[in-house]
Amino acid sequence: MVQRTYEQAEKRLEEIVNELQKGGKTLDESVKLFEEGALLSDFCLQALKNAEQKITRLGETNADEAQV
């Protein structure tokens, strides 16, 4: 997959959802879009999970520093 930001992936995922909702695609086209969407969804979920972990670590570091 092309390296992209969370925002780019989210935007493309929205485009895919809109394309699939419109209909008019062949089965093969729909499957390809669905597969791309699934990969983008996984990418976005992992990016959010990584951001949450980073924020948690930063909060713990700040809490540790405040106790000193």
Of the pLDDT bands very low, low, confident and very high (cuts 50, 70, 90), residue 3 is: confident
Tell me the torsion sign for CA atoms 11, 16, 17, 19: positive
How remote is the C-alpha of 6 from its chain's centroid?
Answer: 6
Higher pLDDT, 12 or 67: 12
Domain boundaries in the chain? 9-67
This prediction's pTM: 0.80
The predicted structure's pLDDT at residue 2: 62
DSSP assignment, residue 5?
A: -
11-53: per-residue pLDDT in tens?
999 999 999 999 999 999 999 999 999 999 999 999 999 999 9
How far apart are the C-alpha atoms of 1 and 17, rounded to whole Å?
18
